[in-house]
Amino acid sequence: MSNTSRLIDKLIDKKLVKRNPCKENRRKVEIVITEMGLSVLSNLDHKIENAEKKILDPLDNESQKKLRKLLNKINLIKQ
């Protein structure tokens, strides 16, 4: 079993996503996020936004822009 399948199984166990068989192609399975999964994502979005605000608050707007630009460069290098 691949890592992806194990991850999907864990998310299904937690009722965050569900598998829907494809009607046109029996070999294909669609993974759909549940209402509970959407709720968890929304909660995480708020936590991430609050953490980012707390980290960036001491910096002025220009410093924040420079930091984002540098972080984007680092991210591009990793890809």
Read off the pLDDT of residues 36-48 as tens digits, 9 standing for 90 and up. Answer: 999 999 999 999 9
**Dihedral sign from CA coordinates of 67, 48, 45, 33:** positive
Q: Tally Cβ neighbours within 10 Å of residue 8.
A: 18
For the chain, what are the domain ranges? Answer: 3-78
Task: Yes or no: say if 31 and 17 are a contact pair by the CB < 8 Å rule.
Answer: yes
Query: Which of 30, 34, 29 has its CA nearest to residue 13?
Result: 34
CATH 1.10.10.10 fits 3-78, yes or no: yes
Asked whether the predicted pLDDT for residue 2 surpasses 70, the reply is yes
> Of 3-7, 41-45, 74-78, which gets the smallest average pLDDT?
74-78
**pTM for the whole thing?**
0.63
* Pairwise CA distance, residues 65 & 47, whole Å: 21
